[in-house]
Structure 1
Amino acid sequence: MSIDSDAQDATLDQLVEWAGALVVPGQRRILGLTGAPGAGKSTVAEQLVGALGPDAAVLVPMDGFHLANEVLIDLGRRDRKGAHDTFDDDGYARLLATLRAQGPDDPVVYAPRFRREIEEPVGSSIPVRPTTPLVVTEGNYLLLESDGWPAARSCLDEVWFLVPDTDVRHQRLVRRHESYGKSPEDAKRWALGSDERNARLIESTAARADRILRLP
């Protein structure tokens, strides 16, 4: 399968319309956005939730399940941070299952958030009210068929795979790494090294998405 040839051109307005169709008061739906590092998942997810409004949707990113740096050091994986085995995939799957089952009379669920300025996850940062009908989640490995990732996928109503221009994606990654303290050389090395290895794995999962989307 060629991702580019199978990708559907779409505007943000269309994405908002499709996401809005998942908003059913009194029911809980979960929409997942995935794609390679730098694909724009976080930005699009934030735009969708912003357009739908806080009464309709809430964003719960997968990045809140990054393993802490001290754990990665103990495991010998610190230099591969961002790879699929540097996340608490089982914890993420359990949270999605809890959100999926959350009923209108259940208590608020608090999800973790990843703080890029400290490169660490922070627990109990995102309140998910039981009356919010749509949860939007985004992350790299929503369609991976190993470890805890299939259990996470089973909780999602739809998964959309975002396909940006490769050069644009690389430029975003370099700027991101630089903005959090890496030198231009280290930023480029990370974007074209570790990030690109992860990207190839992620792109191999695209065929399992409900929609493959190319945004302008």
Structure 2
Amino acid sequence: MDAFELIDENRMAALTARARGLAAPGRRGLLGLTGPPGVGKSTLAAQLVERLGGLAVLVPMDGFHLAQAELERLGRAGRKGAPDTFDAAGYAALLARLRTPESGATVYAPAFDRALEEPVAGSIAVPPGVPLVITEGNYLLEDRGPWAGVRPLLDEVWYLEAADERTRVERLVARHIRYGKEPGYAERWVRESDEANARLVATGRDRADLVVPVR
């Protein structure tokens, strides 16, 4: 999905300028994008990185999904995407490392391969001179357990809010189908798993620095 379908050009320009303001010389800023599943977090994050040129790198929270084998061992595979199916402490530790980079050191972050449904270590290089890291994910404003350590590491967190919840859910179902789920299974997964997570994510809305309406 093109970010221009989510946000009009004037708003996109304003958001880009605000993000650029966090990329101050001599320090590294961290910007977080959060919101319910399917709202367009990864789309907007990628568009911001593109507009900012070499000033920003995207490090998604989804790289900290637990591996499928570990989820099965823990009996959590049927709830993949819930807060306790991520390595939240590991994510916070990476953010802390990114916030205060060692001189001359490139930091490598994991990504999440949706085709494999698995995290892939060492996929994203963050060179030492990049002044802004943009991270996106569901639980950046979660204030319980190890997730509580995430928000203090971020300069700002923006909450993306869908103007039309039906459209958001339809996009989410379509994404699951695109990556291999049968339509009926995709609809059940969204209804029983993703939407439970969406309700939890919404409890953090009032803690965001900015609420961004999206189409």
TM-score when scaled to structure 2? 0.93
Counting aligned pairs with the same residue, the percent is: 54
Q: Tell me if 1:38 matches 2:38.
A: yes
Alpha-carbon RMSD: 1.2
The residue correspondences of 1:5-20 to structure 2 (distance < 5 A) are 11-20=11-20
- 8 A Cα contact 1:62 1:139, kept in partner: yes
Residue 111 of structure 1 corresponds to 109
Q: Does 1:207 align with 2:173?
A: no
Structure 1: stretches of 5+ with no match in the other structure: 1-8
CA distance in 1, matches of 2:63, 2:81: 12
What amino acid does structure 2 have at the position aligned with 1:65?
A: F
The answer as to 2:151 corresponding to 1:153 is yes
- The code of the aligned residue for 2:170 comes to Q
> Which of the residues 128, 131, 153 maps onto 1:130?
128
Preserved contact between residue 62 and residue 137 of structure 2 (Cα < 8 Å): yes
Structure 1 stretches of at least 4 aligned residues deviating more than 2 Å after TM superposition: none
Q: Is residue 28 from structure 1 mapped to residue 51 from structure 2 by the alignment?
A: no
Q: Give the residue type in structure 1 aligned to 2:143.
A: E
Partner of 2:93: 94
**Contact 2:39–2:214, Cα closer than 8 Å, also in 1:** no
Q: SS at the partner of 1:187?
A: helix
Residue aligning to 1:72: 71
Match of 2:60 in 1: 61
Q: Number of residues paired by the alignment?
A: 206
Q: What's the TM-score, normalizing by structure 1?
A: 0.93
Shift of 1:109: 0.4
Offset of 1:215 from its aligned partner?
Answer: 2.6
Separation in 1 of the partners of 2:56 and 2:83?
27
Structure with bigger RCO (C-alpha 8 Å, 6+ apart) = 1
- Mapped to 1, the partners of 2:200 and 2:104 lie a distance apart of 37
